[in-house]
Amino acid sequence: MSADIILVIVVGTALAFDFTNGFHDTANVVATSISTRAIGPKQAVVMASLLNFAGAFISLKVAATIGQGFVDTDAVTTTVVFAGLVGAIAWNLITWWLGLPSSSSHALIGGLVGSVVAAQGFAAVNGGGLLDNLIIPAIIAPVIAFAAAGISILFVYRIVGNLRPGPVSRGFRHGQLISGGMLSLSHGTNDAQKTMGVITLALVANGDIAANHFHVPDWVVISAASAIALGTFIGGWRIIKTLGTRIIDMDPAQGFAAQGAGAAVILAASSVGYPLSTTHVISGGIMGSGAAKRLSAVRWGVAGNIVTAWVLTLPAAGTIGALTYAVASLFGSGAVGPILITAAMLTALAAAFARRIQRAAPAPSTP
């Protein structure tokens, strides 16, 4: 009974993580299409939500990597998965508060590894798997997106450079319906699978699925797809309101090249099972298409922030995950620890939102 309660908390927390992932990443997925006026904001958000949902059904290789590639499944308990998720969510909230462009995916894996280390020691971590499936692809993928977008835009300008700009821009705006759609689809494919992998890992830990017969149940796929799509949809409405400050200045051809490169890299990574930071890949594509036109067009400071956040994310989320596991263990192996931690997190979140709303409220007018 106690284990089932923890499992329910883990599934709820994982889906909440998935929702926030979609919520945060809407801007990355739709901003390029909207800024080049390829599609209206409302249509872009609806399309992104639907394609994020559809993308979650395309492949399950990333889910398998998350579930089997980084930690020894025998060493994982539902409390370990819970602590890992808390580490990821807490680090995401901290970086969101500080304005650092961190990766939800790296936070998730960092949190999980940290809690496993706290529970079973370093021997339960597959160091080779981390290097092979996370760290090296994390370094290489944004560079590939940068190069692919840069080379693409150089070819594109060479082919259409002498044509009338009006029809060319119109053509690439139409093309962005496809490249933007592919980017949304690829985002759903890679990011929703991370939640599927974590929930399945919890099901293995709870004895619902045999470790040697790792498979993602249909209800997990559908719920993860729904959570990320809903997050994308709701996050999108928030983005529309603040769009004026967030758009990226680029022409439709650059937008097409950046989105195409991002989608191609994420889909290629999904096909071999690499859980990438979609934020970093999309940023790499945008910078590549900007740099090919003019080096000074790229906000290199943003690139520096990404590197800083990337270096910090794994150890920081891991430390929070380990601390969470240590606190949960103080209450024994039952559901008391996870219940208390969840209650504390929800209280802290409610207090933070209340404080923010209070600050945002207009001061009463004086007579």
Choose which of 205, 269, 298, 314 interacts with other proteins (CB under 8 A): 269
Choose which of 65, 102, 105, 277 interacts with other proteins (CB under 8 A): 65
Contact stretch for other proteins (CB under 8 A) within 1-9, 111-119, 141-149, 336-344:
141-149
Which candidate, 189, 138, 194, places its Cα nearest to that of 20? 194
* Alpha-carbon gap, residue 21 to 240, rounded angstroms: 17
Contact stretch for other proteins (CB under 8 A) within 100-108, 252-260, 338-346, 359-367:
252-260
Nearest-approach distance from CB 201 to other proteins, in angstroms: 13
Nearest-approach distance from CB 78 to other proteins, in angstroms: 22
Q: Within 210-330, where are the H helices? A: 218-241, 243-246, 252-272, 278-293, 300-329
Choose which of 61, 106, 187, 194 interacts with other proteins (CB under 8 A): 61
Nearest-approach distance from CB 169 to other proteins, in angstroms: 10
* Alpha-carbon gap, residue 177 to 40, rounded angstroms: 11
Q: What's the angle, vertex CA 347, arms to CA 345 and CA 7, rounded to 5?
A: 45
Q: Which residue has the tokens 């559908």?
A: 222
Contact stretch for other proteins (CB under 8 A) within 92-100, 122-130, 310-318, 345-353:
122-130
Q: Which residue has the tokens 């807490």?
A: 90
270 lies in the site for other proteins, by CB under 8 A: yes
Number of residues near other proteins (by CB under 8 A) = 57
Q: Which is nearer to other proteins, 86 or 209 (CB)?
A: 209
Question: What are residue 36's phi and psi, to 5 degrees?
Answer: -95, 5
Binding mask 322-351 for other proteins (x = CB under 8 A): ------------------------------
Contact stretch for other proteins (CB under 8 A) within 35-43, 113-121, 266-274, 301-309:
266-274
175 lies in the site for other proteins, by CB under 8 A: yes
Nearest-approach distance from CB 190 to other proteins, in angstroms: 11
Q: Which is nearer to other proteins, 73 or 333 (CB)?
A: 73
The answer to whether the CB of 228 falls within 8 A of the CB of 18 is: yes
* Alpha-carbon gap, residue 308 to 282, rounded angstroms: 17
- DSSP conformation letters of 200-232: HHHHHHTTSS-GGG----HHHHHHHHHHHHHHH
- Roughly what angle, to the nearest 10 degrees, separates helices 104-120 and 300-329? 30
273 lies in the site for other proteins, by CB under 8 A: yes
Binding mask 19-58 for other proteins (x = CB under 8 A): ---------------------------------------x
AA letter at 351: A
Residues 6+ apart with CB under 8 A from 148: 260, 261, 264, 265, 285, 288
Which candidate, 214, 226, 294, places its Cα nearest to that of 55? 226
What three-state secondary structure class fits 154?
A: helix
Q: Which residues sit at the interface with other proteins, rule CB under 8 A?
A: 58-59, 61, 64-65, 68-69, 126-129, 131-133, 136-137, 140-141, 144-145, 147-149, 151-153, 155-156, 159-160, 163-164, 167-168, 171-172, 175, 178, 182, 185, 189, 253, 256-257, 260-261, 263-265, 267-274
